[in-house]
Amino acid sequence: MPSKLDSLRQHTLIVADTGDIDAIRTLQPVDATTNPSLLLKAAQQPEYAALLDQALQQAAGSYQLISDAGDHFAVAVGSEIVKLVPGRVSTEVDARLSFDRQATVDKARKLIELYELAGVTRDRVLIKIAATWEGIQAAAELEREGIQCNLTLLFSFAQAQACADAGVFLISPFVGRIYDWYKQHEGRDFQGADDPGVQSVSRIFRYYKQHMYATVVMGASFRNLGQIEALCGCDRLTISPALLQQLAAESGPLAPAAQLTQASEDSQQRLDEASFRWAHNEDAMATEKLAEGIRAFAVDQRKLEQLLEARAASAV
């Protein structure tokens, strides 16, 4: 009998949610996603020391040495990943730029330029951007330039609607963090199709398919196998190495989840800035988790920069 991972692969593209090159080599996903937290974790491992030193050398002479070295490190890790996957790697824009459209566009262009200098073409890269109003508008501009984007930290239906209208390549709705919020606020657990995170992604998926949006839906941030199994049939799922290993170790057939095949109950609606902000504001979970996620990624970005600063100082 095939493993659950093999069964899942028949219905959904599997993406590894990690910057761990050894894990990617072992698990052989189609794509891989990184973020500041994953890059920080990688940077603390001895096998990445050479890439840190390389990043500092590449940024030498820059008046923004540490910031530029962080960009070079992110691209260096991504460049190693694309050697191991047939598809794409997602590299995230600094979360501290989440409310600055132009700065987000500029940073994305810079990351793509660094990738191209490293011999990685833009069709192998997705630029990850937080799904704020400013981030979504930046992504719309980048998409028109041929720079495809992965909109992350997505928790509300309004964010999904605006991303579809912007024509972004892919969204990453966060299943596990939605689950965490409802579990804490309602004081109970949720399983399978009753999981609020699963329900959120299912609603978005149905809306996109019924209204024929091309934007890819990639469920992210999973806490358990039940959430993954309940979203079998979603366009893509980005899964941590630990959960991928669990899927590989368990056997059993998986079929597309029933809640993904139902008709959408949501009529098509195009949101302007005011209606987007109001609709997102009305969702307490989404408002809290988006802000929390941006803060957390910003903290880890600063920690990565501190690590680079310490390494640069020790080399003097």
Q: Which residues are catalytic?
A: 128
Q: Which of 164, 88, 179, 163 is nearest to 127 (CA)?
A: 88
Residues 6+ apart with CB under 8 A from 306: none
Contact 134, 100 (CB under 8 A): yes
What is the chain's percent helix, strand, coil content, to nearest 5? 60, 15, 30
Chain-centroid distance of CA 61 in Å reads 32
Q: Which of 241, 244, 169, 228 is nearest to 11 (CA)?
A: 228
Which residue in the block uniquely carries the two structure tokens 């970005």? 301
Contact 163, 215 (CB under 8 A): yes
CA dist., res. 80 & res. 199, Å (int): 35
CA dist., res. 129 & res. 112, Å (int): 14
Contact 48, 22 (CB under 8 A): no
CA dist., res. 12 & res. 234, Å (int): 6
Across 107-198, where does the E strand assignment appear?
Answer: 125-130, 149-154, 170-173
